Amino acid sequence: MSGNGTAEVSRPQHRADGRGARYEIQGKADQLNHTKGEHGACRISKLGSGLDSGREGKQFHSGVDGEEEHGNGGECAASPEFCVYLNIRLHSVVEIVVKCVHEMKNWEKPFYPIIYVRGYAMSEGEQDETTVDPFCGFNLGSAVYRATTDKTKARKFIFESPVLRLISDFEYSDVYKDGLDIVDAEWTDAISPRSIVIFRYYEQGSTILGTGKTEEIGTFAKRLSDLILKTRDLVCRDGNAGMAADFRCYLVAHSMGGLVCRAFLQNPELGDDAARQCVDKVFTYATPHNGIEMAGINIPAWLGVTKMNTFNREEMAKYLNVETLYARPNKRVDWLPESAFPSEKFFCMVGTNRGDFAAGLGMSRTFAGQGSDGLVKIESASVWGVDGDGKVSAPCATAYAFRSHSGFFGIVNSEESYQNLKRFLFGKIRIDIWVDVASVRLPETIEGKNVNAVYQFELLSSPQKKPWFLTRRVAEEDSVACRSHEQLTAATDDGKKIYMSTVFLESQDDSFGQGPDAPIVGQCYGIMLRVRVPDYEVDRKFWLDEHIEGAALFQGSVLVEVERPRVAGGDWTAKYDWQDKKPGEATLPLTYKDVGNDKKEMTIDFKSKGKPGISGKIRFLVSAWNG
């Protein structure tokens, strides 16, 4: 203890999960444990017998704007970031002053505010319904799970909702208080970095609280920009204004909400550059990134009633600022210019269950057709990065779940989607999964003939000992990756490198950068790869000889364990085993090579026996995530 009676404070030891920090103060025989909560509260507990709160157990906290007095338990509602001064009287004689310095950049990363952007509400009644829902559907859970494509059976599986899980798993909170939202003029409080902010963009056009006139998507994008800046200002206030330059947030969006986010990010006329710089990651559920098809026809531009032409590609090209890219022969708009937002920070969650989407008495799923979630085509629900020359740079991280666009079996209210969301936002390891085909072998009787065939690549991936998949691509759900025989036998490799999915792994023990003696961060996960035997056509006729419907050219399950380095710049460790040889184990070393951009490439060879057959590699691009 210093001569003026002030305790010396040791360097903050940040907890591995980012939820608090521990300050230890030595004052003779007295010890104080001070833990910072996420909502502006500090708790004081006595570790040693020599600490007494004095004055009948009262403890004092002096905030930025003055001193507040609290009773037993030491609960205090300070600024939403850090307490600035904590005064404790020892035997009414000695005052310890603990200075708690706010370091948002290190303290909260990767726990930034989450801004949720809901999807399309077509009718006046739907817009009013979402207006009166404080969380716009982000609070909906589900108690059912479709384990198979058999519609007669469902399995009980409780998923509480994204909002509740973010609160219970990561101590997030909403931003409603005394009946107010942060956008209301009467709101005056600061908010925590761990806040869930709902972008209630239909409120102004509802008949209940607004004009009754639906606004354009460009207007929604501009107001999203305003909301981001408002969130930044409230998080960084109360003496923390200097942290505004380091402020970051996440955008999480369902359906059309993802288009609102892209319009804001990609079109410089729809929002403020300062707001765009605040966005760290974007996660979309079932967003029609390439528009909506009904009966195989894109929604027409003239269908302006209820703003349905928002999903017309020609209109989308304008508000997404991709008119030059749309002018190409394929007429697609699912492009994300790297100059607007980095593709590696964008995640697409794709639904594949059309059968359980009940909107419009089932008419929607009928017109959307096969290969959809009941509204959005699977092939239209993801985006691809493009560089300054208009060339594809990389696929955005994508995962697939057997969930419908919304409803009881909806994609937002699902465990699979939540697992991908939390791992993408807060995970420690990123793994992009590719299949590189080396060769395909035809049945001997048709070798050398004019053959046409489509190969279907299926992939299932899940962490070990979990009852759900992080990604699920199977033929029965129309979510497979397809390649033609011509592509797989061409002289070039363009069609032989197949992006399958991206998984993010987490760990309860964040030891990265904690020293060589710390336990290693690692996780086991399983991958099932299957390549279906194609329906061969010979001279434009279906070849039935030797054909077995549903058979596989190759099928195998592999367990992979990947461990991050103990220290920054250290070596990665990876092991694997094919599960038909060593069930439940991963013992064989998996080597890697550096491929730039801090990514490591790991490969596992696969090969089927005989003819027909296929050979190639499962290729993993592995990188540290969130530092």
- Position 95 scores a pLDDT of 34
Q: Parallel, antiparallel, or unpaired: how do β-strands 537-538 and 451-452 relate?
A: antiparallel
Cα four-point dihedral sign 395, 400, 403, 404: positive
Q: Parallel, antiparallel, or unpaired: how do β-strands 471-473 and 397-401 relate?
A: unpaired
**Which residue, 72, 400, 79, is CA-closest to 237?**
79
Q: Sorting pLDDT into bands at 50, 70 and 90, what band is 507? A: low
Mean predicted confidence (pLDDT) in 122-142: 88
| pTM, two decimal places | 0.82
- Position 184 scores a pLDDT of 94
- Position 340 scores a pLDDT of 97
Q: Sorting pLDDT into bands at 50, 70 and 90, what band is 305? A: confident
Mean predicted confidence (pLDDT) in 405-430: 95
Q: Identify the residue with better confidence: 103 or 159.
A: 159
Check: CB of residue 428 under 8 Å from CB of residue 505.
yes
- Position 54 scores a pLDDT of 33
Residue 209: strand pairing partners: none
Mean predicted confidence (pLDDT) in 419-438: 96
- Take residue 125 and report the two structure tokens written for it: 């009644």
Q: Sorting pLDDT into bands at 50, 70 and 90, what band is 621? A: very high
Identify the three-state secondary structure at position 298: strand
Cα(419)–Cα(349) distance, integer angstroms: 11
- Position 526 scores a pLDDT of 93
Question: Residue holding tokens 């939820």?
Answer: 19
Residue 62: strand pairing partners: 67, 85
Cα(479)–Cα(462) distance, integer angstroms: 17
Q: Identify the residue with better confidence: 238 or 415.
A: 415
Q: Sorting pLDDT into bands at 50, 70 and 90, what band is 149? A: low
Residue 451: strand pairing partners: 538
Check: CB of residue 379 under 8 Å from CB of residue 290.
yes
The predicted-structure confidence for 11-23, as pLDDT tens digits, reads as follows: 333 333 333 333 3
Identify the three-state secondary structure at position 436: strand
Q: Hey, how many other C-beta atoms are within 10 angstroms of the C-beta on 154?
A: 16
The residue type at 533: V
Cα(235)–Cα(237) distance, integer angstroms: 6
- Position 227 scores a pLDDT of 97
**Which residue, 132, 129, 133, 135, is CA-closest to 117?**
135
Question: Residue holding tokens 């200097």?
Answer: 242
The predicted-structure confidence for 349-377, as pLDDT tens digits, reads as follows: 999 999 998 887 778 888 888 899 999 99
Residue 88: strand pairing partners: 96
Strand order in the sheet with 335-337: 335-337, 384-386, 392-395
Q: Sorting pLDDT into bands at 50, 70 and 90, what band is 597? A: confident
- Position 241 scores a pLDDT of 64
Which of 46-60, 206-220, 397-411 shows the lowest mean pLDDT across its residues? Answer: 46-60
The predicted-structure confidence for 450-478, as pLDDT tens digits, reads as follows: 999 999 999 999 988 888 999 999 999 99
Cα(279)–Cα(256) distance, integer angstroms: 18
- Take residue 425 and report the two structure tokens written for it: 């936002």
pLDDT for 238 beyond 90: no
For 174, the enclosing helix (H) or strand (E) is strand 173-174
In the chain, the percentage of residues whose pLDDT exceeds 90 is: 58
Average pLDDT over the chain, rounded to an integer: 81
> Which CATH code, of 3.40.50.10860, 3.40.50.150, 3.40.50.1820, 3.40.366.30, is assigned to 103-426?
3.40.50.1820
Q: Which of 108-112, 186-190, 549-553 has the highest mean pLDDT?
A: 186-190
How far separated are the first and last CA of the chain, in Å rounded? 36
- Position 489 scores a pLDDT of 95
